[in-house]
Chains A and B, each alone.
Chain A
Amino acid sequence: MEGIEIRGLTKRYKDVTAVDNLNLTVPEGACLALLGVNGAGKTTAIRMLSCLTRPTSGDAYLLGHSIVGDPRGVKSVLAVSPQETAVAPNLTVSENLKLIARICGSSRQEAARQTEETIASFGLEPVRGKRAGKLSGGWQRRLSIAMALIQRPKILFLDEPTLGLDVLARRELWTVIRALRGSVTILLTTHYLEEAVALCDSIAILNHGRLKALGTEEELLARTGAHDFETAFTMLAAEEETA
Chain B
Amino acid sequence: MRVWIFGQRTAKEILRDPLSLGFGLGFPIILLLLMTMIQRNIPVSLFELAQLTPGITTFGLSFLCLFSATLVAKDRSGSLIARLRATPMTGSDFFLGYLLPLLPIAIGQMAISYAVALLLGLAWTPRILAAIAVQLPMAVCFLSLGLLCGCLLTERQATSICGALLTNLSAWLSGAWFDLKLVGGAFERVAFLLPFANATEAGRMVLSGETTGLAKPLLIICLYGLAAFLAAALAARRLEHLP
Contacts and interface: CB of A to CB of B under 8 A. Distances in A.
Contacts of B129: none
A87 interface: yes
> Which has the most chain A C-beta neighbours within 10 Å: B13, B79, B88?
B79
Given A75-B87, A95-B12, A87 B80 contact: yes
B9 A88 contact: yes
Given A53-B243, A81-B83, A88-B13, 9 more contacts: A50-B85, A53-B242, A80-B82, A84-B79, A90-B12, A90-B16, A90-B17, A91-B12, A147-B83
> Which has the most chain B C-beta neighbours within 10 Å: A50, A52, A72, A105?
A52
A84 B78 contact: yes
Interface stretch (A96-104, A167-175, A182-190, A209-217): A96-104
30 contacts: A50-B82, A52-B82, A52-B85, A53-B242, A53-B243, A54-B243, A75-B86, A75-B87, A78-B86, A82-B83, A84-B79, A86-B78, A86-B83, A87-B80, A88-B9, A90-B12, A90-B13, A90-B17, A91-B12, A95-B9, A99-B5, A102-B2, A102-B5, A103-B87, A103-B88, A103-B89, A104-B88, A131-B16, A144-B83, A147-B83
Nearest to A96: B9
Interface of B: 1-2, 5-6, 9, 12-13, 16-17, 78-80, 82-89, 242-243
Interface string A52-80: 11100000000000000000100110111
A148 B83 contact: yes
**Among all A-B residue pairs, the 6 with the closest Cβ atoms:** A86-B79, A82-B79, A86-B83, A84-B79, A54-B242, A90-B16
Interface of A: 47, 50-54, 72, 75-76, 78-91, 95, 99-100, 102-105, 131, 144, 147-148, 151
A87 B87 CA distance: 14
Nearest to B16: A90
A50 B243 CA distance: 13
A99 B78 CA distance: 17
> Which has the most chain B C-beta neighbours within 10 Å: A76, A87, A103, A144?
A103
Contact of B84 (A76, A78, A89, A103): A103
Contacts of A50: 82, 85-86
A82 B83 CA distance: 7
Nearest to B75: A88
Contacts of A105: 88
A100 B87 contact: yes
Contacts of A151: 87
A160 B243 CA distance: 23
A164 to B, nearest CB: 13
Contacts of B80: 86-88
B83 to A, nearest CB: 4
B82 A82 contact: yes
> Which has the most chain B C-beta neighbours within 10 Å: A50, A75, A95, A148?
A75
A123 B48 CA distance: 59
B82 A75 contact: no
B88 A75 contact: yes
Contacts of A147: 83
Contacts of B89: 103
A90 B242 CA distance: 27
Given A80-B83, A105-B88, A51 B242 contact: yes
B79 A85 contact: yes
> Which has the most chain A C-beta neighbours within 10 Å: B12, B13, B86?
B86
Contacts of B87: 75, 79, 100, 103-104, 151
A12 to B, nearest CB: 14
Nearest to B6: A103
A144 B82 CA distance: 12
Contacts of B83: 80-82, 86, 100, 144, 147-148
